[in-house]
Homo-oligomer: A and B are copies of this chain.
Amino acid sequence: MKFCPSCGNTVTHRVPKGDNRNRYICDNCDEIHYQNPRIITGTLPLHEDRVLLCRRAIAPRKNFWTLPAGFLENGETSEQGAIRETMEEAKAEVNVHSLYTLYNLPHISQIYMFYRAELKDLNFSPGIESLEVRLFSESEIPWTELAFPVINNTLAHYFSDRKTQVYPTHVEDIIINR
């Protein structure tokens, strides 16, 4: 940030009075422009013993497999966002069970949330950000071709929890020092 979104003047990155972190502060109108982590929300779409994955059509990690997910929008709940992203990326309708995994990624100031969900039917196809969408049984999961650690971890939790049919909410941090 170089300019104030409110008045268009320059900003300075400094610690406001009564604060202890650098913020972008307008040199003219004194408005403080906070920047905060963003939420990515998606689903673990299930059909009988298989899981739906999407092969990414876009960077980062183009060609790698992912669960349908994307940035939560203003004015929607994390569950609504997860359902919307599943439609956008996999053209699939789901019934959501419950929040299944939540990952903190502080090195990129993101929180990922995945909901366990059931496909309503077998009508699915690649959305604009996907090259391919298909169902995988546990033995078919392309573990070395998954796009992000949050995908590996969510799938690993699922195949483990499935043995007992108990699906608590898993909350974990993914710490990558940069």
* A101–B93 alpha-carbon span in the complex (Å): 27
* A80–B71 alpha-carbon span in the complex (Å): 22
* 19 CB < 8 A contacts A-B: A1-B5, A1-B6, A2-B7, A3-B3, A3-B5, A3-B6, A3-B7, A3-B8, A5-B33, A18-B128, A34-B71, A36-B72, A36-B73, A37-B39, A37-B74, A78-B111, A102-B102, A168-B169, A169-B169
This chain: how many copies in the complex? 2
User: Is A171 engaged at the interface, CB distance under 8 Å to the other chain?
Assistant: yes
* A71–B34 alpha-carbon span in the complex (Å): 10
Given contacts A2-B6, A8-B3, contact A171 B39 (CB under 8 A): no
The interface bits of chain A over 2-25 (1 if a CB of B lies within 8 angstroms of the residue's CB, else 0) are 111111111100000010010010
Closest 3 CB pairs of A and B: A3-B8, A77-B104, A169-B169
Given B21, B71, B79, B173, which contacts A36 in the complex, CB threshold below 8 Å?
B71
> For residue A35, which residues in chain B have a CB less than 8 angstroms away from its CB?
74
Given B21, B74, B128, B169, which contacts A99 in the complex, CB threshold below 8 Å?
B169
Given B5, B99, B106, B107, which contacts A5 in the complex, CB threshold below 8 Å?
B5
Q: Write the chain B residue with the least CB distance to A128.
A: B18
Q: Write the chain B residue with the least CB distance to A175.
A: B77
Given contacts A77-B106, A169-B171, 20 further A-B contacts (CB under 8 A): A1-B5, A2-B8, A3-B5, A3-B6, A3-B8, A5-B11, A5-B24, A8-B9, A35-B74, A36-B39, A39-B39, A39-B111, A72-B111, A75-B109, A76-B106, A78-B111, A79-B173, A80-B106, A99-B102, A168-B169
